[in-house]
């Protein structure tokens, strides 16, 4: 699954969702994880609503966004696009976060994470 991180240096999750200028996008699975690209935020509209919507659109392929902080309206816009916001509240290492996530994926992930893993896949009710 694709995961976005708010980071200034590619090493630490250290940005607020609404203030970051770029996102690092990673592909993360239980056994492998790899950096895919850096997505740069460009100016969109004059108000906060437009800026939040533009960020959510940039990340529409992602299942999760790891950020230091995210406001309620921004979190709601992400959730509406089936992107799960994860707040760290303090600066944390990006690679350590990826490794912890992989450990969870190798075990029995919680329901919200299983749902995020299946983002974009067709749901089948047949066995």
Total-model pTM: 0.87
What is the distance between the alpha carbons of residues 42 and 58, in angstroms, rounded to a whole number?
A: 10
Give the three-state DSSP class for 5: strand
Q: What pLDDT does 31 receive?
A: 93
- pLDDT one-digit tens code per residue, 46-66: 667 778 888 888 999 999 999
* Residue 58 token pair: 């940039």
DSSP per-residue string spanning 105-116: HHS---HHHHHH
From 111, 101, 104, 110, select the one nearest 65 (Cα to Cα).
101
CATH-assigned architecture of domain 2-117: 2-Layer Sandwich (3.30)
**Percent of all residues in the chain with a pLDDT value above 70, rounded to a whole number:** 89
pLDDT of residue 14: 96
pLDDT of 20-54, one tens digit each? 889 999 999 999 999 999 999 876 656 677 788 88
End-to-end CA distance of the chain: give it in Å, rounded.
Answer: 23
Q: What is the dihedral of CA 44, 47, 53, 54, to 10 degrees?
A: 10
**Could you give the 3-state DSSP secondary structure of residue 45?**
coil
Q: Cα separations (Å) of 115 from 25, 27, 67, 85, 119?
A: 19, 16, 19, 13, 7
Whether residue 76 contacts residue 70, with contact meaning beta carbons closer than 8 Å, is answered with: no
């Amino acid at each position: 699954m694709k995961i976005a991180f708010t980071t200034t240096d590619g090493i630490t999750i250290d940005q607020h969702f609404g203030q970051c200028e770029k996102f690092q996008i990673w592909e993360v699975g239980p056994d492998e994880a790899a950096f895919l690209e850096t997505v740069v935020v460009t100016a969109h509209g004059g108000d906060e609503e437009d800026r939040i919507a533009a960020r959510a659109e940039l990340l529409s392929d992602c299942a999760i966004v790891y950020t230091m902080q995210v406001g309620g309206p921004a979190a709601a816009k992400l959730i509406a696009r089936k992107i799960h916001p994860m707040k760290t509240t303090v600066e944390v290492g990006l690679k350590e976060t990826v490794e912890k996530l992989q450990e969870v994926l190798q075990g029995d992930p919680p329901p919200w994470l299983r749902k995020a893993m299946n983002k974009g896949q067709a749901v089948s009710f047949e066995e």
